[in-house]
Structure 1
Amino acid sequence: MLIQLVPMILVGCIGYGLKRAGVLGPGDAKTIGRLLTHLALPAVILRALATAAIAPDLVYLPLSALLVVLGLTTIAGLRLRWLGWNRARAGALITTFPTFEGGALGYPIMLLAFGEVGLSRIVLFDLAQAIYLLTVVYCLSAWFGQAGVTARAVGTKLARTPFFWAILLGLLLNVLGATDALLLGLLDIVSNGFLLLVLLLVGMEFELQLGEGWRYLLLALAKVGAGLGLGWVATMVFGLDGVERAAVLVGSGLPPSLLTLIFVQENQLDTRFASSFISVAIPLYLVMITALLALPLG
């Protein structure tokens, strides 16, 4: 697994280096982000789900994700009671802590480690988290930012999220068996650039406030550690093993979703806190998940 992750880390470093050298700037990061959000990521999800062998008992994957995100939300809420942070930083924590960055990290890791089967399993796991992120977390972020949030706003957020529709369409195509060589060939072409684009973007978004680095490291340890612990409990409760157990553990320990940066910015919360937290959590997660996947998960 380490050999498979090293190229990913190197591409991320290239993205960071290109940003530091001024070759790529904020405008380029936004363009790459749009390509991922509206094209590459939906194509990867659609192909994985449309061609996967999906059994009824795989419903335990999204149920596991729901258990984990509810647990992480509870932990974050309890921490806020004694941290004494201002509203902007508290809102940034409650927005980031319960979420997973599946598209940028979880999907490529499961794809490299277990192939298309592994990718399909983590996409199913991520389904519940994606809905939770775009509803509950979105509402919490808006509340801390003192912005008005309505059912219509939540519905609009879901309707404008391409990967959400890709999940639903992929499941529908799977049930109907409506895939052919032309569709799969098109999806292959579009999704081939997914790994390169997402890893470049992760490197470009890397940012850290060095003076408070140890604080973010402790917070990242708490986030990844609590997620892995809750994920392990979920695998025990639902009796998951093999690739399904790996998908839950890889997914549960993920750093915060990059999409939360948009929520934090929209609601005028502490953007520097959120970006620094994510930047520390990503390399920590890669180290921990590499060690975890070296262990037998069957």
Structure 2
Amino acid sequence: MDALLIKTGGLLLIVALGYLLKRRGVFQQGDARLLSRIIVNLTLPGALLSSFSAFRLVPSLLAVLAAAAAANVLLLAVSALVTRGRPGPVRALYLLNAPSYNIGTFVLPFVQSFLPPDMLLAVSMFDAGNSPFNCGGAYALTAALTGGERLTVRSVLGRMLRSVPFDTFLVILLLGLLGLRLPQPVYTVAGMFGQANAFLAMLMIGLLLEPRIPQESRSDVLRVVLLRYGFGLAASAVCWMLPLPAGIRQVLALSLLAPVPSVSLAYCERCGCDSGAVGAIHSLCIPISLAFTLLVCLM
């Protein structure tokens, strides 16, 4: 428990450091753009590859994978519906921050500390269903809906395949299905890249962090947060009543109440979202998810 609190405090310290350095003029909010490119193209793929070094597709856990995919699809559909007719950047704010879940750098440490070791496989399965959306799928759909492009299977797949994180996940999944593994040095080197992901992501949040929610986007920020956690609580309650092992139900609840993934910051920047609104959403989600996570872990 002490180690978990230290890790949580360390992540919050990095966020605070990024914010303070921005206020002191060492960094500018625009520097988050460079960090977002490093995260999307280098550290996130490395974290994905290293975390899936022992990934194996287990048929008995396919329900966890299906739940992750279904949650993303439903939140994308609801976000598209409630923002119909709104400007592109506003639609992108909903589409990129209501769905997708931060599993690797948020949920995984809690599962390792509170749940049995075999539950790590369940977390990996949830991330397998979440990653196609987290690593390019949601962004591809958002870009098509907000950029005036015609939404076709080809256009969505094209954007997904141009996403380095999604390509990495696709390779991992195919290797898992075929029962193949890359040489261990590949995972070791990938882990060196991945270790920087949490630090850079928290630093980028700090650069984007604004304690004051912009007046012009306050209602949208609160609606995104309410949509995300309202759905998460309802879905968690449904999963808790399913005839599944207690550990699986806890993993589903933890994952469905996780904060927005850090990569959405990069995709929001690409889609022209209000940076203050994006930072406010992430600033609100982290403490809310932390409170729910501690509650679920202690149940």
Length-normalised TM-score, structure 1:
0.77
CA distance in 1, matches of 2:266, 2:39: 15
Q: How far does residue 63 in structure 1 lie from its aligned partner after superposition?
A: 0.4
Q: 1:22 to 1:286 in 2, by over 3 A?
A: farther
Structure 1 residues 48-197: aligned runs within 5 Å: 48-52=51-55, 54-73=57-76, 75-76=78-79, 79=82, 89-90=90-91, 92-102=93-103, 105-106=106-107, 110=111, 121-132=122-133, 134-135=136-137, 138-140=140-142, 142-174=144-176, 175-197=178-200
SS of aligned partner of 1:51: coil
Query: Contact (CA 8 Å) 2:201, 2:262: kept in 1 or not?
Result: no
Give distance in 2, aligned partners of 1:157 and 1:125. Answer: 23
User: Which residue matches 2:18?
Assistant: 15
Q: Which amino acid aligns with 1:30?
A: R
Amino acid at match of 1:254: A
Cα gap change, 1:44 to 1:91, in 2 (>3 Å): closer
Sort the Cα spacing of 1:102 and 1:237 in 2 relative to 1 into closer, same or farther, 3 A: same
The answer (yes or no) to whether the contact 1:47–1:187 under 8 Å persists in 2 is yes
1:144-185 residue CA offsets vs partner (Å, 9 max, x unmatched): 453444433322221122222222333344443434443343
Q: Residue 241 in 1 paired to residue 242 in 2?
A: no
AA aligned to 1:286 is L
Q: 2 CA distance for matches of 1:184 and 1:132?
A: 23
Percent identity for Structure 1 against Structure 2: 21
Distance 1:126 1:279, change over 3 A: same
Q: Letter of the 1:8 partner, please give it.
A: L
**Distance across 1 between alignment mates of 2:187 and 2:266:** 32
- Output the aligned Cα RMSD: 3.6
Shift of 1:65: 0.9
State how many pairs are aligned: 292
Gap change, CA 1:208 and 1:101, over 3 Å in 2: farther
Match of 1:5 among 4, 8, 24: 8
Conserved? CA contact 1:95–1:263, under 8 Å: yes
**Counterpart code for 1:153:** S
**Which residue is equivalent to 1:227?**
232
CA gap of 1:202–1:173, structure 2 versus 1, over 3 A, is same
Contact 1:15 1:204 (C-alpha < 8 Å) held by counterparts:
yes
Instruction: Give, as a single letter, the amino acid of the residue that structure 2 aligns with 1:292.
Output: V
For residues 136 and 35 of structure 1, the distance between their equivalents in structure 2, rounded to whole angstroms, comes to: 19
- Cα deviation for residue 51 of structure 1 reads 1.5
Distance 1:121 1:206, change over 3 A: farther
8 Å Cα contact 2:107-2:255 kept in structure 1:
yes
- Evaluate the alpha carbon distance shift between residue 150 and residue 194 of structure 1 in structure 2; reply closer, same or farther with a 3 A threshold: same
Distance in 1 between the 2:118 and 2:206 partners?
27
CA distance in 1: counterparts of 2:12 and 2:153, whole angstroms: 40
- Between 1:36-45 and 1:206-215, the stretch displaced more is 206-215
- Matched to 1:239, the amino acid is L
1:29 paired residue among 26, 29, 32: 32
Distance 1:33 1:120, change over 3 A: farther
Q: Is the 8 A contact 1:255 1:282 kept in 2?
A: yes
Distance 2:117 2:168 in 1: 16
> 2: CA distance between counterparts of 1:172 and 1:86?
38
Query: Which of 45, 49, 72 matches 1:46?
Result: 49
Alignment partners' CA distance in 2, 1:192 and 1:116: 21
Partner of 2:297: 293
Q: Which runs of 5+ in 1 are unaligned?
A: none
For residue 140 of structure 2, what is the amino acid of its counterpart?
Answer: Y
Distance in 2 (CA, whole Å) between partners of 1:25 and 1:204 is: 7
- 1:272 and 1:146 mapped to 2: Cα distance? 24
Q: Structure 2: which amino acid aligns with 1:251?
A: S
When normalised by structure 2's length, the TM-score is 0.76
Does residue 276 in structure 1 map to residue 277 in structure 2?
no
Whole-angstrom CA distance in 2 between matches of 1:239 and 1:42: 32
Q: CA deviation at 1:16?
A: 1.8
Query: Please, which moves more after superposition, 107-116 or 2-11?
Result: 107-116
Query: Could you tell me how far apart the structure 2 residues matched to 1:252 and 1:51 are?
Result: 23
- Secondary structure of 2:52 counterpart: helix
